[in-house]
Structure 1
Amino acid sequence: MSLTLRQLQIFLAVADTGSTSAAAGLIALSQSATSAALNELETLLSAQLFDRVGKRLVLNDNGRLLLPQARQMRDAAAGIARQFAGADPSVSVSLQIGASTTIGIYLLPQILAQAVRQHGPSIPQVMIANTADIAAAVAEFRVDIGLIEGPCHEAGLLVEPWLADQMLIVAAPSHPLAQLRHLLSFAELNQAGWLLREAGSGTREAVEQALVPYLHYLRPAGEFSNSEAIKYGAAAGLGIACLSHVVVADLLASGQLVVLDTMLPPLQRNFYLIRQAKKVLSPRLSGFLELCRQARHAPA
């Protein structure tokens, strides 16, 4: 008996749904046939792929090892089918784009609009999460490419520097540090309360890498899961924050935030394009990557 694409499709359906009965509904098989196919696959591989937890099937370490390879084979087979069916890949392929929060909210919509103008009305599906989650999704073939705003720690990915991003330290005009008329010292910044992103966020890691060498420690005044909350928290006087210029530009223009003058050097971080090293680039994905690269030269 040899490994079949159908067995891998069934495995992926069970992994996505958590049961053979739910998977059967996705792949138009009976529950018994789905269970039999999964058992055949596990027998063929001489390994259990799921832990049985009550009525649910939960991927174990064997299953997690197989998961990205199974997704890669499924995607490759779908691409072959489209190619030889004469389908137009620019229309039929639905791209899966992953973006970390700042990029997904502030930069990606303009690139998507350009993609629609050049390649037709189909808008890619977008996953927005923190940098660590996007990198994991790219590594596991759950998204085609990722646009992230922090260092990438996943193995097996191609990482391409993309855009430079200016970071600013901001506060409400009424904040005590905003009232001072001198360059703020490291000691003054060290004593301030900082509004921070959650662990795993590219913004959190970039802020810590930029500031901790000078301040040694950031005293948290609050932790938030997105930069919008931090921005408005700073405007409300809850603390100071280090955020991307693209995030705070509107509140700086309206006067609800001010940039603090400090003894720190200019703060800058990089955004990155990431993709799986084994990912096969379709024409549409190659075109989307090129649009992203063109954004490097777009006027600010």
Structure 2
Amino acid sequence: MRLSLKQLQVFVAVADSGSTAAGADAVALSQSAASAALNELERQLRVQLFDRVGKKLLLNDSGRQLLPQARQMLDAALQIEGQFQHAHGGTVRIAASTTIGIYLLPPILARMQAEGASALPSVRIENSMAAAAAVAAYQADFGLIEGPCREPELLVEPWQEDELIIVCAPRHPITRRLRDGKAPVAALEQAGWLLREAGSGTADAVDSLLLPHLHHLRAAAQFGNSEAIKHAAAAGLGLACLPRLVVADLLALGRLVELHADLPPLRRQFYLIRQRGKSLSRSLEAVLDACRAPPL
């Protein structure tokens, strides 16, 4: 076998960055060495992997076919290195969506630590779309996301359920329009809403749960995370639909109030995602088992 992991590493780095210069920086090689490795890979495979457009290198059909295979091979090599460098298989990498990473993962990691885990996973926190993309690219060993997964090569496993509620500041004008303790649907339609960015699992959930009943959410402002939204709601900037676990602290302090309405229960599913071809080390299986254990 003449292919080398270094050639594949250079190929993936160039595919991700779009140039041999940036790809060389990513793998700590000189540009000439990276170019030589890429040229040798193409020579051995007897195909061109990129279309050269000016100074940019764009994956062609052959390159797109090779990319997931190259990522899988590099990930397997990383698993082998970790297995023998650390007694329990190296550091596991989790990609978690924002709400999960901030509110649900810390208790799981604390339980792992209390049970004697030798090394805790590394966690990257992004919105659901970015977390799924990281798992698909083998940049994370598995992911925990809040909404549907749009990466067809990933295995998707239902994980936990979550309840969302509508909240606002106690002095928000809508609180003076309650009827029998409930906010009229017309008032919800007219109010300004504090929304998450596109690609967020919470944003997808809010749209799928509320739009069939309200038909339109008038955006008062958009924020990159739920923490910012709940504090903006407490300041009176608008209504918010957020997980109960996110707003529990401000509800207890009286800085937010829950709005009830004639709507069905607002519940959504969280998911655990991983690559179909992913090899499971002992450490990765241990972390997966910890995440699948019933919540405390």
* TM-score for the superposition, normalised by structure 1: 0.88
Which one-letter code corresponds to 2:135 in the other structure?
Answer: V
Moved more, 33-42 or 279-288: 33-42
Who is 2:140 aligned against? 143
Q: CA deviation at 1:256?
A: 0.6
Q: Does residue 36 of structure 2 align to residue 39 of structure 1?
A: no
Give the superposed CA RMSD. Answer: 2.4
Matches of 2:54 and 2:107, distance apart in 1: 44
Give the direction of change, closer, same or farther, for the CA distance of 1:166–1:93 in structure 2 (3 Å limit). Answer: same
Matches of 2:220 and 2:82, distance apart in 1: 53
Matches of 1:129 and 1:158, distance apart in 2: 19
Which one-letter code corresponds to 2:200 in the other structure?
Answer: S
Matches of 1:14 and 1:175, distance apart in 2: 52
Who is 1:229 aligned against? 228
Q: CA deviation at 1:65?
A: 4.3
Q: Deviation string for 1:137-162 (max 9, x for gaps)? A: 11121111000011111101111111
Who is 1:159 aligned against? 156
Aligned residues: 292
Who is 2:113 aligned against? 116
Q: How does 1:276-287 map to 2 (within 5 A)?
A: 276-287=275-286
Unmatched segments (≥5 aa) in structure 1: none
Matches of 1:274 and 1:192, distance apart in 2: 36
Matches of 1:163 and 1:26, distance apart in 2: 37
* TM-score for the superposition, normalised by structure 2: 0.89
Give the direction of change, closer, same or farther, for the CA distance of 1:81–1:18 in structure 2 (3 Å limit). Answer: same
Give the direction of change, closer, same or farther, for the CA distance of 1:257–1:30 in structure 2 (3 Å limit). Answer: closer
Q: Deviation string for 1:174-214 (max 9, x for gaps)? A: 00112334222222211111111111111001001101111
Give the direction of change, closer, same or farther, for the CA distance of 1:241–1:19 in structure 2 (3 Å limit). Answer: same
Give the direction of change, closer, same or farther, for the CA distance of 1:13–1:89 in structure 2 (3 Å limit). Answer: farther
Q: CA deviation at 1:20?
A: 4.3
Q: Deviation string for 1:60-96 (max 9, x for gaps)? A: 345454333212101223434555x5x5452x51211
Which one-letter code corresponds to 2:168 in the other structure?
Answer: A
Q: CA deviation at 1:127?
A: 1.5
Give the direction of change, closer, same or farther, for the CA distance of 1:43–1:290 in structure 2 (3 Å limit). Answer: same
Who is 1:67 aligned against? 67
Q: Does residue 101 of structure 2 align to residue 104 of structure 1?
A: yes
SS at structure 2 position matched to 1:98: strand
Matches of 1:196 and 1:162, distance apart in 2: 24
Does the 8 Å CA contact 2:169/2:235 hold for their aligned counterparts?
A: yes
Which one-letter code corresponds to 1:39 in the other structure?
Answer: N
Unmatched segments (≥5 aa) in structure 2: none
Q: Does residue 265 of structure 2 align to residue 271 of structure 1?
A: no
